[in-house]
């Protein structure tokens, strides 16, 4: 017990188990609420944007369930990390041939679980990138909009689905290209993993993924960069950076276009509102997902310092993003926030307040005067609503 890190309480049961279960529950409930709000809210024009939000809500729920089901363990080594399901031993079955190291059923299940997690982890960022593309198309006048002017919803969904499928295949291939269980990883000392997690990484029936950018050459006794692992690293970073590049590119053009937008004041205010909400929605994964993932991949590459079980804290923070994302959307889009507030008030019988609040939200997106929009936004509290009705 003396060898355990001071933060061991947070990465061991019962806290570890209930943390993932709690975040998954919050994600399911909040995203279901968001879906209901999107489908029932008629106080503002949403066009096809609601479909993007619906896809994002579904993606968040799948990602949270993936986190909870797999409960990933990430152990950082000097030159990479080991990644396996927390309950990897539970996937083992009796009677397997210990000599058949390649096709063990339990090992395959463990690898599939890890690769499925990788796929669901990255796809939420792709959907977020499509949010920026949509906002770009709605605001910026350019060749991309001219080329797709006559596209229908089905064509956009086909293109998005095709991209997501290709991207998923690329990410899964990259992770499995050189990083699944192999002779090298089986030969490494498994004592830390047995002591900390009860998982024997030298057991060929245990499925996991290992990234070791530098490996020991037993013939020369020197550490060398591993070519296939470098390919995996570059592919993952390229795929991961693609969504980030799209967000930055679209944001730059959106900000420029908003400053010179010539449409009505109300439409301009609504576009700014959606873009501001999108930026906040992006800030959450940047803090809780992008940053931890960059540390997991880049720290061993540039420092050669093993952080060990601290990798579990990093991967645990990434589950916060799909859990709070729907809540952030509801909070920062006034029409959605008012819908939830109205529902709560209606449950407690304050129907008059609800009706007045809905009227204010409707005015916010129908008035042609920016001053009126500001007044409406500032008087959306319950007390001002009652005052206005009187």
Query: In terms of domains, do 244 and 320 share one?
Result: yes
Q: Helices 370-378 & 351-364, crossing angle to 10 degrees?
A: 150
Query: In terms of domains, do 251 and 146 share one?
Result: yes
Domain finish residue from 317, 332, 347: 332
Q: What is the mean pLDDT of residues 348-366?
A: 47
Is the pLDDT at 376 greater than 50, yes or no?
Answer: no
Query: In terms of domains, do 328 and 339 share one?
Result: no
Q: What is the mean pLDDT of residues 267-295?
A: 82
Identify whether 3 is part of a domain: no
Query: In terms of domains, do 34 and 166 share one?
Result: yes
**pLDDT tier at 286, thresholds 50, 70, 90:** confident
Query: In terms of domains, do 339 and 360 share one?
Result: yes
Which pLDDT tens digit goes with each residue over 16-39?
999 999 999 999 999 999 999 988
Which pLDDT tens digit goes with each residue over 250-279?
888 888 877 776 555 666 777 777 788 788
Mean pLDDT value across the chain: 78
Q: What is the mean pLDDT of residues 69-94?
A: 84
Which pLDDT tens digit goes with each residue over 171-205?
888 877 766 556 777 788 888 899 999 888 888 77
**pLDDT tier at 390, thresholds 50, 70, 90:** very low
The pTM score is 0.77
What is the model's pLDDT at position 277? 78
Query: In terms of domains, do 308 and 356 share one?
Result: no
Residue 363 belongs to what domain range?
A: 333-390
The rounded distance, in Å, linking the Cα atoms of 211 and 235 is: 13
Which pLDDT tens digit goes with each residue over 214-241?
887 777 878 888 888 888 888 888 887 8
Domain finish residue from 309, 332, 355: 332
Query: In terms of domains, do 228 and 357 share one?
Result: no
Identify whether 1 is part of a domain: no
Query: In terms of domains, do 236 and 259 share one?
Result: yes
What CATH number does residue 109 fall under? 1.20.1070.10
Identify whether 28 is part of a domain: yes
Pairing of strands 209-212, 80-85: antiparallel
Any residues with CB less than 8 A from the CB of 338 and at least 6 apart, and which? 43, 357, 358, 360, 361, 380
What is the model's pLDDT at position 311? 94
Is the pLDDT at 98 greater than 70, yes or no?
Answer: no
What is the model's pLDDT at position 137? 79
Is the pLDDT at 338 greater than 80, yes or no?
Answer: yes
The rounded distance, in Å, linking the Cα atoms of 185 and 316 is: 24
Query: In terms of domains, do 242 and 200 share one?
Result: yes
Identify whether 64 is part of a domain: yes
Identify whether 172 is part of a domain: yes
The b-or-e profile of 160-171 (16+ CB within 10 A means b, else e) is beeebeebbebb
The rounded distance, in Å, linking the Cα atoms of 224 and 226 is: 6
Tokens of 387: 């005052």
Identify whether 386 is part of a domain: yes
What is the model's pLDDT at position 47? 65
Query: In terms of domains, do 266 and 374 share one?
Result: no
Identify whether 337 is part of a domain: yes
Domain finish residue from 332, 354, 381: 332
Query: In terms of domains, do 71 and 177 share one?
Result: yes
**How many domains, the chain?**
2
**pLDDT tier at 363, thresholds 50, 70, 90:** very low
Least confident piece of the model among 135-149, 198-212, 260-274, 366-380: 366-380
Q: Helices 49-70 & 320-332, crossing angle to 10 degrees?
A: 150
Is the pLDDT at 247 greater than 90, yes or no?
Answer: no
- Percent with pLDDT over 70 in the chain: 77
Closest C-alpha to 177, from 236, 244, 257: 236
Is the pLDDT at 120 greater than 50, yes or no?
Answer: yes
Query: In terms of domains, do 264 and 244 share one?
Result: yes
Q: In DSSP terms, which residues pair with 308 in a beta bridge? A: 76
Identify whether 269 is part of a domain: yes
């Amino acid at each position: 017990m003396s060898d355990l890190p001071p933060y061991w309480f947070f990465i061991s049961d019962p806290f570890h188990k209930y943390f993932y279960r709690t975040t998954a529950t919050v994600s399911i409930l909040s995203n279901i609420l968001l879906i209901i709000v999107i489908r029932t809210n008629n106080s503002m024009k949403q066009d096809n944007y609601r479909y993007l939000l619906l896809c994002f809500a579904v993606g968040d729920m799948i990602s949270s369930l993936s986190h909870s089901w797999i409960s990933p363990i990430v152990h950082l080594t000097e030159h990479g990390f080991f990644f396996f399901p927390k309950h990897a031993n539970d996937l083992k079955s009796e009677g397997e041939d210990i000599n058949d190291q390649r096709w063990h059923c339990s090992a395959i299940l463990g690898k599939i679980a890890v690769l499925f997690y990788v796929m669901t982890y990255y796809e939420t960022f792709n959907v977020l990138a499509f949010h920026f593309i949509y906002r770009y198309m709605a605001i910026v006048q350019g060749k991309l909009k001219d080329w797709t002017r006559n596209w229908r919803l089905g064509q956009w969904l086909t293109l998005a689905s095709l991209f997501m499928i290709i991207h998923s295949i690329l990410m899964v291939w990259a992770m499995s290209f050189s990083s699944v269980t192999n002779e090298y990883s089986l030969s490494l000392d498994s004592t830390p993993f047995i002591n900390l997690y009860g998982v024997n990484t030298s057991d060929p029936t245990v499925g996991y993924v290992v990234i070791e950018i530098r490996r020991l050459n037993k013939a020369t006794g020197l550490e060398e960069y591993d070519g296939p692992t470098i390919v995996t690293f570059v592919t993952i970073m390229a795929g991961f950076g693609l969504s980030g590049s799209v967000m930055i590119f679209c944001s730059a053009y959106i900000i420029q276009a908003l400053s010179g937008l010539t449409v009505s004041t109300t439409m301009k205010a609504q576009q700014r509102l959606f873009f501001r909400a999108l930026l906040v929605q992006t800030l959450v994964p940047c803090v809780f997902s992008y940053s931890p993932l960059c540390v997991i991949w880049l720290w061993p590459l540039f420092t050669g310092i093993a952080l060990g079980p601290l990798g579990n804290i990093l991967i645990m923070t990434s589950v916060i993003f799909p859990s709070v994302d729907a809540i952030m959307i509801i909070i920062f889009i006034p029409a959605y926030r008012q819908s939830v507030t109205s529902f709560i008030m209606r449950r407690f019988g304050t129907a008059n307040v609800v009706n007045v609040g809905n009227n204010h939200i409707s005015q916010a997106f129908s008035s042609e005067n920016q001053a009126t929009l500001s007044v409406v936004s500032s008087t959306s509290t319950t007390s001002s609503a009652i005052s206005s009705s009187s």
